[in-house]
Amino acid sequence: MPGTLTHSPSDIVRQLLVNLALGVDPTTDETSDWPIYESREPDLPDDCITVYNTADKLQGRTMTDGETQGQEGIQVRIR
């Protein structure tokens, strides 16, 4: 199916933020500031970033085959 994502939108954005050095991956670097989590925010540390999936926005359907078109939703929380 065209347009199917292998990873969730929140995981893609989380990895983008890590690649841009705006935070670190907590599974590989437990000592640095600003770990970036996906979908679940732990109680500690206080300084962290969490990316969540939110509801998709339906844009409509294509006229040729009726395939649904839409935008994925995300939320970035900085604590």
Quick: pLDDT tens for 12-46. Answer: 999 999 999 999 999 987 778 899 999 999 999 99
CB-based contact 36:18 (threshold 8 Å) = yes
> Which residue is it, tokens 């970033």?
49
d(CA 49, CA 20): 14
- State residue 8 phi and psi, 5-degree precision: -70, 155
In the structure encoding, which two tokens stand for residue 12, read together? 């893609």
pLDDT digits (tens, 9 = 90+) for 48-69: 999 999 998 888 899 999 888 8
